[in-house]
Amino acid sequence: MFEKFAYYILLILTCLIFNLSAKCNSLLIGNSQGYFLHNQDSGVKVHSPKKATIFSTVLPGLGQAYNKKYWKIPIIYAGLGISGYYIVRNRAALKRYRSDIRAFSDNDPNTFPTEHEGISLDEAKQNRDIFKKYRDYSIIAFAALYALNIVDAAVDAHLYDFNINQSLSGTIKPIVNPTALGLSLSIRF
């Protein structure tokens, strides 16, 4: 079942990569800053949020590299790696407890659990349920981190050209009068 799912995911990702490269090859312009989509109407280079989103969907961290936020890539892979490790670990423990339950349930008095000696059927079922819950939580964490990677790349791409300079500033000053205490907020554009 997992192999079939992985096959379909790989097929979809391959189609996305070839479709993206076919559409964008004529629009890409390279320079020392990296690759940008070229707006043919105005001649202005545009940093594409759609491209960053697709890159992060195909390969986690690739959208962050496109946005030049390289420091986020190890964090993404650490989170995905840790949650992937716990998926595998909890799945293996779940399989061991399932085999113990089968050993109890085969109606053969000579068959005993091979993995966990001295365990009762109720304890094996309880532990199976616990590790199934942990495995499911690990899968949810992996999916959430993967989605967060995509959202982060899209938001960073939208804010890529956002300009913060000295002309946009604000100050907060305390006001002390004989009649009132307060704060003054002044914003300068």
**Domain chopping of the chain, boundaries:** 70-158
For the residues 161-175, what does the mean pLDDT come to?
A: 71
Flag whether pLDDT at 170 surpasses 80. no
C-alpha span between 66 and 58 (Å, rounded):
13
- Listed in sequence order, the residues at least 6 apart from 119 whose beta carbon sits closer than 8 Å to its beta carbon are 100, 113, 127
- Yes or no: say if 18 and 10 are a contact pair by the CB < 8 Å rule: no
Q: Which of 184, 169, 65, 84 is nearest to 135 (CA)?
A: 84
For the residues 162-185, what does the mean pLDDT come to?
A: 72
Query: 36 - beta bridge partners?
Result: 29
pTM of the model: 0.63
Q: What is the pLDDT of residue 22?
A: 42
Q: What is the pLDDT of residue 32?
A: 44
- 144-153 CB burial, b ≥16 within 10 A, e <16: ebbeebbebb
Q: pLDDT tens digits, residue range 79-107?
A: 999 999 999 999 999 998 888 888 777 77
Flag whether pLDDT at 108 surpasses 80. no
Q: Which of 37, 54, 137, 25 is nearest to 89 (CA)?
A: 137
pLDDT, greater one: 167 or 69: 69
In the DSSP assignment, the letter for residue 60 is T
- Yes or no: say if 65 and 74 are a contact pair by the CB < 8 Å rule: no
Q: Which of 178, 180, 87, 103 is nearest to 136 (CA)?
A: 87
End-to-end CA distance of the chain: give it in Å, rounded.
59
**Ranges 68-77, 79-88, 149-158, 166-175: which has the least confidence:** 166-175
C-alpha span between 134 and 86 (Å, rounded):
8
Q: What is the pLDDT of residue 87?
A: 96
C-alpha span between 66 and 76 (Å, rounded):
15
Q: Which of 135, 24, 150 is nearest to 83 (CA)?
A: 135
Q: What is the pLDDT of residue 81?
A: 96
- Yes or no: say if 121 and 101 are a contact pair by the CB < 8 Å rule: yes
